[in-house]
A and B are shown apart, each in its own frame.
Chain A
Amino acid sequence: SQTIHQWPATLVQPVGSPLSLECTVEGTSNPNLYWYRQAAGRGLQLLFYSVGIGQISSEVPQNLSASRPQDRQFILSSKKLLLSDSGFYLCAWTPGTAIYEQYFGPGTRLTVT
């Protein structure tokens, strides 16, 4: 069966520090991968998605970037965190094209202080 991992579960970082969040999926190959953010009291905002290694689509201009160095690995990064980057970050995957259901990881709670 497929599983999705995210780490760390929680993170407290000072403003201006770098960020690296990692997501990996097991039990499947060539998944579509997604990064979302849920700000306090808000819905799910799609940040990035990837349909293959090295292929990244950005949904909103911001202080973050994403990379997909391996088929089942998706990384969310920032060079310098802002206070507004605080939120709950979620990684999700789908088996591929024409499969709408996305399956989410446990999330990372990021607090920028």
Chain B
Amino acid sequence: DQQVKQNSPSLSVQEGRISILNCDYTNSMFDYFLWYKKYPAEGPTFLISISSIKDKNEDGRFTVFLNKSAKHLSLHIVPSQPGDSAVYFCAASHFGNEKLTFGTGTRLTIIP
């Protein structure tokens, strides 16, 4: 049972435009959500997170939006840069859980 889903395996965006990566979850107990960025042959790096008490969190060019009623979160990258080309994973957890549940990832390609 895939509790965290990233339905778009890939996304291509023109440099300078907005990239929007989407993630859906099914477990209503999840109360904390994270985004990771991964380059080939490297470990994922933590990007940004959001608690369920918020609906938006911003860090520079990266903004995460959370819609609890729809069980949906998205990552916005504005403006997109070539270095943003990577695989992006969303992940979720809940209080008292020592683990993260990851989505399958979306490969973002920024076109110069």
Chain A residues close to B by CB (< 8 Å)? 32, 34, 42-44, 46, 49, 51, 57, 59, 88, 90, 92, 97-98, 100-107, 109
Contacts and interface: CB of A to CB of B under 8 A. Distances in A.
A34 to B, nearest CB: 8
Contacts of B104: 42-43
Given A44-B102, A59-B99, 16 more contacts: A32-B98, A42-B104, A43-B89, A43-B103, A43-B104, A44-B105, A46-B99, A46-B100, A46-B102, A90-B43, A97-B98, A100-B49, A100-B93, A100-B100, A105-B43, A109-B41
B76 to A, nearest CB: 20
Q: How large is the interface on B (under 10, 10 to 19, 20 to 34, 35 or more residues)?
A: 20 to 34
B42 interface: yes
Interface in B82-112: 89, 93, 95, 98-100, 102-105
Nearest to A45: B102
A90 B104 CA distance: 15
Contacts of B62: none
A49 B43 contact: no
Interface of B: 32, 34, 36, 41-46, 49, 89, 93, 95, 98-100, 102-105
A100 B32 CA distance: 8
Contacts, number: 48
Q: Chain B interface mostly helix, strand, loop or mixed?
A: loop
B3 to A, nearest CB: 12
Nearest to A101: B46
Given A100-B34, A102-B46, A43 B100 contact: no
B34 A107 contact: no
A15 B104 CA distance: 28
B43 A51 contact: no
A107 B43 contact: yes
> Which 4 A/B pairs are nearest by Cβ-Cβ distance?
A104-B43, A43-B104, A44-B102, A100-B32
10 contacts: A43-B104, A44-B44, A49-B99, A90-B43, A92-B43, A100-B100, A101-B46, A104-B36, A106-B43, A107-B43
A57 B66 CA distance: 30
